[in-house]
């Protein structure tokens, strides 16, 4: 098991948080260590190696380091790099100088030294490092036979691991483009230097597709492969991420085929009430969420949603432009953010602010839900000239919105969110789709990636007075990693 310790040392070469010394004296929560592992792995070792790989998707505070604000490591920072950057969100309700590095994303005034990039890079690569260790165990026939793990359970865990690696690399390639590709545990400094080289993004996409294909073969046709642990990756999550990969690569026919395949499982549909996907009292009992991180309070080590603490400190507020994007009386606005009470209900998990300020809240982090998937299909249908099919899906999402009971008990007036009319104008339909995605998925860290893949980020954000430049379609590689690599990791152009 010496290799586990070596891989922890080696990962310092390609990740940059506080320092290697700090990393080795305060290990990331959930990391398997020499003190926890015997020379011979056990079934518990195999289980833990996969379970710990989920943790870097959490909004739990201080999974890595201790209050490393400047390093971007206090919690997973998608809300900064995606929601604030897209101008849906601003840092605080009352602007101040606290954590000024966050404001740099709104203004696009950041440099490669901004800790936000370090945080995202570190979380994703720490997740990948754990997954590679898990995969190395689960694909070792000698180990799996020795511990006596059942084939069905081994296949399930391995399927989860392949999905998670694909998920982390999907995040990396969309934010940074070419990145180092690691598929085995690191064993030495020398090996770390060898792999600390960016590979073309085409190779990353190839690895993502390969991992998802493997995962799909291994996971059972069940909504929850482990009913007692419904948070685990399912085949539905794999198919959905395959569809999202196809969407981001503009493979429209594959998007349609995969969403249709997902529908044949019969597991997912739009909830009758828009907020059911986010309600802490309905987690894993509703029909729409496909993949989410399961935050749970009062666990040791902690597993709660620390983002709710930031909301209590005045962080996370809507921009005026985001609020104005909603049509009159759209109930989704109040379910997303209660301006009067400064509650971000969608992230808090209820509409009365019960978990505001709670650093160990139970509200889940939703990564994929069915409404999102439906709108991928609508986009693909529009691009393949099935205009009526695209409009029908947009109207399906709008219908659910206008028939949702309101958060404050008010009556939705007739004429709210009327159906989009027939059209054969793909530009008009795409405009409807863009608008619908923004209000349906607000504060779910989807908007900035949407603007980038549509190629509209520059026009939209400069139109709002932002200093977005062409180079910002990719974020900079964390400068600390470029420096540590001695130049083997190159910087993105313009930074």
Burial per residue of 170-193, b for 16 or more beta-carbon CB atoms within 10 angstroms, e otherwise: bbbbbbbbbbbbbeebbeeeebbe
DSSP codes, 167-206 = HHHHHHHHHHSSEE---S---SHHHHHHH-SEE-HHHHHH
Q: Where are the alpha helices (DSSP H) in 79-114?
A: 100-107
Where in the chain are the domains?
Answer: 1-219, 250-454
Residue 466: burial class (beta carbons within 10 Å; 0-12, 13-18, 19+) = buried
Confirm if 133 and 32 have CB atoms less than 8 A apart: yes
Alpha-carbon span 90 to 184, nearest angstrom: 39
137 token code pair = 């165990």
Give φ, ψ of 494 to 5 degrees: 95, -10
Give φ, ψ of 25 to 5 degrees: -95, -20
Give me the helix-helix angle, 426-440 and 387-402, nearest 10°. 30
Query: What's the angle, vertex CA 452, arms to CA 102 and CA 332, rounded to 5?
Result: 75
**Hunting for tokens 């549509």 — which residue is that?**
454
β-bridge partners, 89: 318
* Helix (H/G/I), strand (E/B), else coil: 212: helix
- CA 176, 177, 179, 184 torsion: positive or negative? positive
Query: What's the angle, vertex CA 81, arms to CA 201 and CA 376, rounded to 5?
Result: 65
Alpha-carbon span 397 to 375, nearest angstrom: 8
- CA 423, 424, 428, 431 torsion: positive or negative? positive
Alpha-carbon span 282 to 277, nearest angstrom: 7
Nearest Cα residue to 80 out of 90, 66, 70: 90
Confirm if 98 and 87 have CB atoms less than 8 A apart: no
Residues in the chain predicted with pLDDT less than 50, given as ranges, are 1-27, 29-38
Give φ, ψ of 105 to 5 degrees: -75, -35
The predicted pLDDT at position 486 comes to: 87
Query: How long, in residues, is the chain?
Result: 495
**Hunting for tokens 């994303």 — which residue is that?**
105
Give me the helix-helix angle, 115-138 and 43-54, nearest 10°. 160
Topology (CATH level 3) of domain 1-219 = 1.25.40
The predicted pLDDT at position 193 comes to: 72
Query: What's the angle, vertex CA 139, arms to CA 134 and CA 143, rounded to 5?
Result: 85
The predicted pLDDT at position 189 comes to: 65
The predicted pLDDT at position 39 comes to: 58
16 token code pair = 């940059």
Burial per residue of 436-457, b for 16 or more beta-carbon CB atoms within 10 angstroms, e otherwise: bbbbbbbbbbbbbbbbbbeeeb
287 token code pair = 């029909």
Alpha-carbon span 116 to 103, nearest angstrom: 11
Whether the domain at 1-219 and the domain at 250-454 fall into the same CATH topology: yes
Question: Which residues have C-beta within 8 Å of that of residue 158, sequence separation ≥ 6?
Answer: 135, 138, 139, 214, 218
Nearest Cα residue to 399 out of 424, 421, 416, 413: 416
Task: Provide the CATH number for the domain formed by 250-454 in this structure.
Answer: 1.25.40.390
The predicted pLDDT at position 11 comes to: 43
**Hunting for tokens 């289980």 — which residue is that?**
47
């Amino acid at each position: 098991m010496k290799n586990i310790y070596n891989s922890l040392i080696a990962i310092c070469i390609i990740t940059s948080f506080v320092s290697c010394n700090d990393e080795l004296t305060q290990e990331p929560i959930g990391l398997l260590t020499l003190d926890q592992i015997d020379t011979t792995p056990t079934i518990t070792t195999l289980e833990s190696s996969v379970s710990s790989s989920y943790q870097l998707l959490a909004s739990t505070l201080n999974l890595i380091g201790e209050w490393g604000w400047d390093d971007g490591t206090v919690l997973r920072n998608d809300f900064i790099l995606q929601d604030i950057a897209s101008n849906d969100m601003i840092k605080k309700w009352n602007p101040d100088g606290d954590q000024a590095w966050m404001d740099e994303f709104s203004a696009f005034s950041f440099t490669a030294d901004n800790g936000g990039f370090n945080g995202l890079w570190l979380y994703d690569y720490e997740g990948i490092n754990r997954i590679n260790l898990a995969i190395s165990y689960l694909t070792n026939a000698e180990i799996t036979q020795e511990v006596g793990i059942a084939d069905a359970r081994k296949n399930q865990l391995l399927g989860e691991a392949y999905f998670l690696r694909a998920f982390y690399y999907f995040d990396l390639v969309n934010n940074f483009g070419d990145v180092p590709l690691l598929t085995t545990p690191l064993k030495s400094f020398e090996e770390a230097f060898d792999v600390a080289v960016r590979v073309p993004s085409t190779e990353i996409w190839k690895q993502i597709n390969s991992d998802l294909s493997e995962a799909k073969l291994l996971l059972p046709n069940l909504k929850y492969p482990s009913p007692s642990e419904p948070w685990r990756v399912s085949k539905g999550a794999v198919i959905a991420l395959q569809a999202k990969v196809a969407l981001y690569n503009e493979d429209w026919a594959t998007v349609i085929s995969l969403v249709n395949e997902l529908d044949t499982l019969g597991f997912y549909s739009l909830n009758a009430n828009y907020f059911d996907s986010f309600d802490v009292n309905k987690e894993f009992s509703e029909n729409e969420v496909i993949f989410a991180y399961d935050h749970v309070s009062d666990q040791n080590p902690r597993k709660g949603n620390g983002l709710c603490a930031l909301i209590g400190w005045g962080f996370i507020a809507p921009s005026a432009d985001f609020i104005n994007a909603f049509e009159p009386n759209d109930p989704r606005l109040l379910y997303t953010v209660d301006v009067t009470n400064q509650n971000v209900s969608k992230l808090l998990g209820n509409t009365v602010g019960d978990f505001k300020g709670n650093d160990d809240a139970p509200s889940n982090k939703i990564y994929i839900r069915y409404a999102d998937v439906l709108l991928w299909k609508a986009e693909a249908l529009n691009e393949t000239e099935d205009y009526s099919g695209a409009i029908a899906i947009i109207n399906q999402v709008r219908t659910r919105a206008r028939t949702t009971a309101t958060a404050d008990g008010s009556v939705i007036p007739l004429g709210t969110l009327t159906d989009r009319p027939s059209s054969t104008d793909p530009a008009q339909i795409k405009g409807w789709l863009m608008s619908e995605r923004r209000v349906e998925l607000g504060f779910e860290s989807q908007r900035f990636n949407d603007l980038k893949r549509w190629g509209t980020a520059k026009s939209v954000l400069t139109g709002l007075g932002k200093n977005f430049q062409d180079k910002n379609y990719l974020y900079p590689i964390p400068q600390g990693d470029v420096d540590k690599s001695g130049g083997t990791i190159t910087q993105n152009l313009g930074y």
